[in-house]
Amino acid sequence: MVGVRCEEMSNQASTAESEADRLDMLEQCASLFARLQGDYYEEYHVYELSTLAVAVVYPLVSCLCLAVEVV
């Protein structure tokens, strides 16, 4: 379930059109990973899910940074 949600978010992140969409996705990512850390603390650390957070969040942050540089 969580893996599917992360994959969906990653796919949406790569196709997000506007800065508002990316910010919304970033908020969803933060919420999901906070829930994972809280509800599945052991699994989060055992399976090093923080590395997944980087893979999902990096494209969003990088697009937002590019948008700021262009302006």
Q: Which tens digits make up the pLDDT trace of 14-33?
A: 555 677 888 888 899 889 99
Q: How confident is the model at residue 53 (pLDDT cuts 50, 70, 90)?
A: confident
Burial class (CB in 10 A: 0-12, 13-18, 19+), 1: exposed
2 falls within a domain: no
3 falls within a domain: no
| pLDDT score for 60 | 81
33 falls within a domain: yes
Angle, helices 50-70 vs 19-39, to 10°: value is 160
7 falls within a domain: no
Q: How far apart (Å, rounded) are the C-alpha atoms in residues 63 and 30?
A: 17
25 falls within a domain: yes
Whose tokens are 């908020």? That residue is 27
Domain count, the chain: 1
55 falls within a domain: yes
Entry pTM: 0.63
The one-letter amino acid code at 69 reads E
Q: Which domain holds residue 42?
A: 18-70
